[in-house]
Structure 1
Amino acid sequence: MSKKLLYLIGIGITILIGTYFYWLLCCKACEEEATNNQVTKEIKELTTPKQKPATYNAFVVNDVDGKKIINTSDNFNFEASGLQFIKPVTAVLDTEISNLKEYLSVNADKTIAIEGFYTSSETNVSAFPNLGLARANAVKNYFVSKGIPSAIMNTSGTLNDNLVADSLQVFHGPLAFTLLQKKDNSDAINQLTQELKDNPLILNFKTGQANINLTNEQREYFAKVARYLDKVPEGKINVTGHTDSQGDADLNLKLGLDRANFAKNYLIKNATIPADKIAVFSKGEAEPIADNSTSEGQAKNRRTVISIK
Structure 2
Amino acid sequence: MAQHRVTLAEVARRAGVSRTTASYVLNGLGKDMRIAEDARSRVLRAAQELDYRPNLMARSLKTKVTHTLALVSDTIVTEQYAGRLVHGALAAAVRQGRLAYLVEGEGEPAAEQRLLEDLLDRQVDGFVYARMFTRPVRLPAGLAGQRRVLLNCYTEDGREPSVLPDELEAGRAAARAVVAAGLQDGAYLVGERAPHVFAGRQRLAGIEEVLAGAGARLAGEAPCAWWPESAREAVAGLLAEGVRPRALVCLNDRVALGAYQAVHAAGLAIPDDVSVVSFDDSELAAWLDPPLTSVALPHFAMGQRAVERLLAGDTEGTERVPMPLRVRASLAGGAARG
Q: TM-score, normalised by structure 2?
A: 0.21
Q: TM-score, normalised by structure 1?
A: 0.23
